[in-house]
Structure 1
Amino acid sequence: MRSKTDFYRLFFEQLARRGFDVKRSQSSDYIADIYFKNQLVAYFSKADTVIQNPFVTVKDKLIRLINDTAQDTANKAGICRDCPYTDANEKLPNGSYKLAEYNGVTLACKEHHLFGYVFSTYRTAPDSGEMMARQIFYNKEFAGQDFAKRSGLVDERALFTEEELRVLHAGLVKMSILDQDVSNEARESVERILDKIEDIIPELREQEMEFDFDMEFGQQEEMEIGG
């Protein structure tokens, strides 16, 4: 999960599979309007919460299903559920906890009610101490990689970007299906590589969904949370 948009895509696809109809919200306060049997039953807010429509009668189990789907989707998207800090870590003014700092670059983390632990990397201005070039991550591995690259701890050329991993994954899947000349030993190696990539990007395990996210939300402005 690289961004909230990745989550929205998976979440709305899952809702569509469960019989809901998801539309871009007509209100600037919400991301999406959620319909069930042609009735507007709930909204999904910019604070990543499900809000029941107060003007219609909605069964509690329907709202629970939407909330459970959101949580299940977030878990499958590869968020971090294990707290990466302790009381010994420095707590920053914005509520985040500092995990590491090197060469003017900081790796911090903050708990979120839906996305578990959200990470950020940023540079600190030497004079003012203000954050600069802040990046948000919902995946612990990618946050750690970004920190290592930005701080100079590792050579960026030795790491794969997420997009490169996706391309590599697609190529390996195609090879494992279509190439009949691959030896059993090589095929087992391919499976191990695919497993490693899918551990980093869990949504690659998911099958294609019928919900057309880009058609409905393609123009939605990206919204990120603090961390």
Structure 2
Amino acid sequence: MSDGTREIEALIDAMARLPGLGPRSARRAVLHLMARRATLMAPMAELMGHVAEAVRDCARCGNLGTGDLCAVCADPARATGEICVVEDVADLWAMERGRAFRGRYHVLGGVLSALDAVGPDELRIPLLLERVRDEGVTEVILALNATVDGQTTAHYIAEALEDRGVQVTSLAQGVPIGGELDYLDDGTIQAALRARKRV
């Protein structure tokens, strides 16, 4: 095997570790990049180097930004009494796309998981409790995924905040707008029934 092939295989192995890419998808992506070295691969490599140097975690919430505080935390127009707790930055960005929430966020960096040995101290839960204490927070909105680990994490946070005089809420779960009952799983239908309201 030539040196060039080893380097390409190393790049394929690295790409295959990305979420959503397996070895075959990574191989296709790398070969696509190799065929367009000047127009795609070189500019992408330069951008990745720049992002790796310039972007960091927000010291307050865990979002990404180029300063100590992200754009959300630095925005004085954001409501300071509400914190929306999310699992990761992708969830924060999804919430921002909806433009419905004007408070601040807290990125946990994962969820509690006994199988993966992830406890509260491996997440940003202690920092969340500090923020609730120090920032005059009146409501914590738990926007965690409806998985077993997500719900376990939500329950843990709700219990930790029980005696702190803060309202703890969670996002409603159930039938999505435009959704048809026939296509929904049993858990979604059960959650929608539990969250039903008067018309």
Common fold, TM-score beyond 0.5? no
TM-score, normalising length: structure 1: 0.22
Higher helix share: 2
TM-score, normalising length: structure 2: 0.24
Higher strand share: 1
